[in-house]
Amino acid sequence: MLSVNYVPIKEFKVKNELFLTSFSPRLQQEKEICRSKEAVCQKITLVLPAFNEEVSIGSTVLHTKRYADRVIMVDNGSSDRTVEIAEKARAEVVVHETNKGKGLALKTGFEAAEGSDIIVTMDSDGQHNPADIPIWLSRSLKAKQIWSTASGMV
């Protein structure tokens, strides 16, 4: 997995590129930047709260893995195959035996993401495009935001 590499926020100069895909011709340059004193490799974790999302969870996890070091799916008392499919897609899975609400599922995901530098949340029903993650991160970094929300409209 790759991490987003950028100059720390206090030294951030506007750049319109984040090197995220393994197909990037700048992969070697990205590794060199990460090793330099001027850059910091950020560990990105994506938290997906889910409730009965067996239809979309597999593709959502697989797509988000392209943009995050870790994908944590918090199952919120699903009665379908959500957990099984997320595990097959290699998400880290945390299970609430009963539905405790999206807020508590997010809190559980944040606790499980301990040690991450950046935590991104998305709905697990496929309404958000994981390819937008670099755009959300770029906008947050440019605005020097610590907390940022994004809608499906980018």
Query: pLDDT category, 66, cuts 50, 70, 90?
Result: very high
Please name which of 89, 60, 38, 7 lies closest in space to residue 19, comparing C-alpha atoms.
7
Kindly provide the residue ranges of all beta strands, DSSP E only, lying in the chain, ordered along the sequence. Answer: 4-6, 40-42, 44-50, 70-76, 92-96, 118-121
- pLDDT beyond 60 at 145: no
Task: Give kind and range of the element (H or E) at residue 57.
Answer: helix 57-64
- pLDDT beyond 50 at 6: no
pLDDT of amino acid 152 = 43
Q: Compute the distance between CA of residue 72 and CA of residue 87 in angstroms, rounded to an integer.
A: 10
pLDDT of amino acid 136 = 83
CB 69 within 8 A of CB 3: yes
pLDDT of amino acid 40 = 53
pLDDT digits (tens, 9 = 90+) for 100-138: 999 999 999 999 999 998 899 999 998 889 998 888 888
pLDDT of amino acid 24 = 38
pLDDT of amino acid 134 = 87
Q: Compute the distance between CA of residue 11 and CA of residue 26 in angstroms, rounded to an integer.
A: 22
Beta strand 4-6 pairing with 40-42: antiparallel
pLDDT digits (tens, 9 = 90+) for 73-85: 999 999 999 999 9
CB 142 within 8 A of CB 14: yes
Mean pLDDT estimate for the chain: 75
pLDDT digits (tens, 9 = 90+) for 17-38: 333 333 333 334 444 444 444 4
CB 75 within 8 A of CB 83: yes
